[in-house]
């Protein structure tokens, strides 16, 4: 049983007053001694040692323990905060590459254990360099924020979004087949392209190429990342050929 310092102090005071009242009235010693025994039992200190000095020492110790408990909780909260910062991109509210790779690994482990495949989508922005060159790096940052916000807003809580490089993003679609992932990736790319972002009073647009690779048993993280990147690059080349042809 845990008691607060003030509860203990009040208990001890009331105990002393009850003892005095019993002695003055000549009542049974059983009633007057029951409360001190309870207090001594709760505090874990023999009754005859509960002198004023011991009481003060115990209350001081309990106060210190309570403060240590509060300090410990503050430290735990700070650790959780630092862990969150370590997992997120320095510029965007999405996972950094290290944390995203960890999510890919988790999806692969899920597929291995439960035969529940997921899918990896790799995005690369088209025209990002032109935005930086024509409007400045602040416009490029605005474009990255636009992409991160669009991806996050259109995914489930069980999915993961990460920034893999300068203008590259990854998405883990949990419990999703390749065909479903391709359909979703196309929708996400359309949302990125069809929604303008603002910079310096201008409405700007950017689009993205994408590639999909299944996260299924027998696939490792590096191979999955490389294959999704290759699928994205192949699609990008197809689009370039279609435009120039």
One-letter-per-residue 3-state SS of 172-217 = EECCCCHHHHHHHHHHHHHHHHHCCEEECCEEECCEEEEEEEEECC
Residues 222-245 have a mean pLDDT of 87
Instruction: Name 203's bridge partners.
Output: 198
Q: What was the pLDDT predicted at 245?
A: 61
Least Cα distance to 122 among 213, 19, 38 occurs for: 213
No. of helices (H) and no. of strands (E), the chain: 8, 6
pLDDT confidence tier of residue 118, bands split at 50, 70 and 90: very high
pLDDT per residue over 33-86, tens digit each? 444 444 444 456 666 666 777 777 777 787 888 888 887 777 776 656 555 557
| Percentage, residues of the chain above pLDDT 70 | 74
| Percentage, residues of the chain above pLDDT 90 | 59
Mean pLDDT lowest for which of 63-67, 132-136, 164-168, 240-244?
240-244
pLDDT per residue over 171-218, tens digit each? 999 999 999 999 999 999 999 999 999 999 999 999 999 999 999 999
pLDDT confidence tier of residue 242, bands split at 50, 70 and 90: confident
Angle, CA 52 vertex, CA 51 and CA 57 arms, to 5°:
95
DSSP letters along 40-57, please?
A: HHHHTS-GGG--HHHHHH
124 has pLDDT over 90:
yes
1 has pLDDT over 50:
no
Residues 146-150 have a mean pLDDT of 98
Higher-scoring residue by pLDDT: 220, 59: 220
Q: What was the pLDDT predicted at 18?
A: 46
28 has pLDDT over 80:
no
Higher-scoring residue by pLDDT: 15, 140: 140
pTM, 2 dp? 0.68
Q: What was the pLDDT predicted at 239?
A: 76
Per DSSP, the three-state class of 1 is coil
Q: What was the pLDDT predicted at 44?
A: 63
Mean pLDDT lowest for which of 69-83, 139-153, 220-234?
69-83
CA–CA gap between residue 147 and residue 25 (Å, rounded):
83
């Amino acid at each position: 049983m845990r008691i607060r310092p003030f509860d203990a102090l009040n208990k001890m005071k009331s105990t002393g007053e009850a003892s005095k009242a019993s002695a003055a009235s000549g009542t049974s010693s059983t009633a007057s001694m029951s409360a001190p025994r309870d207090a001594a039992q709760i505090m874990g200190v023999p009754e005859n040692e509960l002198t004023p000095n011991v009481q003060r020492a115990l209350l001081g110790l309990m106060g210190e323990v309570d403060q240590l408990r509060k300090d410990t909780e503050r430290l735990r909260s700070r650790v959780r905060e630092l862990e969150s910062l370590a997992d997120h991109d320095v510029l965007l509210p999405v996972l950094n590459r290290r944390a995203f790779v960890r999510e890919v690994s988790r999806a692969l482990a899920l597929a291995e254990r439960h035969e529940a495949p997921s899918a990896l989508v790799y995005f690369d922005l088209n025209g990002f360099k032109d935005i930086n060159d024509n409007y400045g790096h602040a416009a490029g940052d605005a474009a990255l924020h636009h992409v991160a916000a669009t991806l996050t807003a259109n995914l489930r809580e069980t999915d993961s979004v990460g920034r893999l490089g300068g203008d590259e993003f990854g998405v883990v679609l949990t419990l999703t087949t390749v065909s479903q992932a391709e359909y979703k990736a196309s929708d996400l790319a359309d949302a990125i392209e069809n929604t303008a972002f603002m910079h310096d009073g201008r409405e700007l647009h950017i689009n993205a190429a994408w590639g999909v690779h299944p996260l299924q048993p027998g696939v490792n993280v590096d191979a999955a990342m490389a294959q999704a990147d290759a699928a994205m690059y192949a699609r990008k080349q197809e689009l370039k050929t279609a435009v120039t042809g």
